[in-house]
């Protein structure tokens, strides 16, 4: 892939894996386990065909050579080993980005090898296409990324609040703006959900998401795999953080705006700033409904007990 962006910008997008779920379509969530400035370990979740795979990778970051080497320390079946390298090469006013993989499959089953080749190629192509999309907009990327959060302060058992957030399958009976929900959890803590809801003006709104749930940490992180037209990508987190006097329940959102949809969705002469305000209001409104209902659920249960 070649792009008209500085090598340092492209390298930075590759090196900062925390933003991969927002920037790269196959990537669902990344947790940084260790980092010393040049070596890091990451726990990653990604779409692998029709499945969701998770693994642990080690990466060596070489900013001077614009190169990132990686290998999987803990693999997902049928992968036996996986390693590779990202390289950014300056070509004057353009840069070339290459992504190489080498892998082995347990048992060398031909069907598993062929399937892994297809998945690796498709995901690599999606990542390179994502980089190309970002490279075209690198000088205004700050305006296209929107992050915000809303928090409520409660005196209630954190387990009850987390239970409300975790049991999203019950939301149509508990939340006024959610009218349908299809939720599956084939692997413990990994939920795939399709939700039908209504926006502030009553417009029907359908989304699909993958959620990674961490009960011990009081966190649920998610990525929408089907978003509203204004968003190229949307990631978020629900967190329940207790302390000595109560707990904070927070909804966090990070959005990558689709600037070519702004006027189509919001009308002629609408700007990126208008889109940022609109999404802040709409996403914040929906999140605050969930937070308020979670608070009511937890405090009502305490009163009944």
**Mean pLDDT on 264-293:** 96
> Average pLDDT, whole number, for the chain?
94
| pTM of the full structure | 0.94
Q: How far apart are CA 272 and CA 154, in angstroms?
A: 35
- pLDDT tens per residue, range 68-106: 999 999 999 999 999 999 999 999 889 999 999 999 999
**Per-residue pLDDT at 301:** 64
- pLDDT tens per residue, range 165-191: 999 999 999 999 999 999 999 999 999
User: Is the pLDDT at 201 greater than 90, yes or no?
Assistant: no
**Mean pLDDT on 48-68:** 96
**Per-residue pLDDT at 184:** 97
> Could you tell me if 97 and 87 are in contact, meaning their C-beta atoms sit under 8 angstroms apart?
yes
- pLDDT tens per residue, range 11-26: 999 999 999 999 999 9
What residues form DSSP beta bridges with 74?
56
> Could you tell me if 71 and 82 are in contact, meaning their C-beta atoms sit under 8 angstroms apart?
yes
User: Is the pLDDT at 304 greater than 50, yes or no?
Assistant: no
Q: How far apart are CA 260 and CA 262, in angstroms?
A: 6
């Amino acid at each position: 892939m070649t792009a008209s962006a500085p090598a340092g910008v492209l390298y930075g997008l590759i090196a900062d894996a925390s933003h991969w779920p927002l920037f790269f379509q196959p990537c669902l969530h990344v947790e940084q386990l260790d980092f010393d400035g040049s070596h890091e370990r990451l726990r990653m979740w990604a779409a692998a065909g029709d499945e969701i795979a998770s693994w642990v990778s080690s990466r060596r970051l070489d900013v001077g050579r614009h190169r990132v080497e990686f290998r999987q320390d803990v693999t997902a079946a049928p992968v036996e080993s996986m390693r590779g390298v990202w390289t950014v090469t300056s070509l004057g006013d353009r840069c070339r980005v290459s992504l190489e993989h080498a892998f082995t499959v347990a048992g060398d089953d031909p069907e598993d090898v062929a399937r892994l080749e297809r998945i690796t190629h498709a995901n690599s192509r999606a990542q390179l296409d994502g980089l190309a999309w970002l490279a075209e907009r690198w000088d205004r990327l700050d305006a296209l990324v929107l992050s915000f959060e809303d928090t409520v302060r409660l005196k209630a058992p954190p387990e009850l609040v987390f239970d409300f957030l975790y049991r999203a399958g019950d939301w149509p009976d508990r939340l006024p703006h959610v009218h349908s929900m299809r939720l599956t959890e084939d692997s413990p803590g990994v939920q795939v959900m399709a939700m039908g809801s209504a926006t502030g003006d009553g417009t029907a709104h359908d989304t699909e998401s993958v959620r990674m749930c961490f009960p011990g940490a009081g966190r649920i992180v998610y990525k929408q795999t089907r978003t509203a037209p204004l968003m190229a990508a949307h990631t978020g987190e629900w967190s329940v953080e207790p302390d000595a006097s109560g707990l904070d329940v927070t909804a966090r959102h990070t959005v990558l705006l689709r600037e070519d949809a702004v006027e189509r969705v919001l009308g002629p002469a609408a700007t990126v700033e208008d889109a940022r305000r609109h999404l802040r209001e709409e996403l914040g409104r929906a999140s605050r409904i969930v937070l308020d209902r979670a608070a009511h659920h937890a405090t009502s249960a305490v009163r009944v007990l």
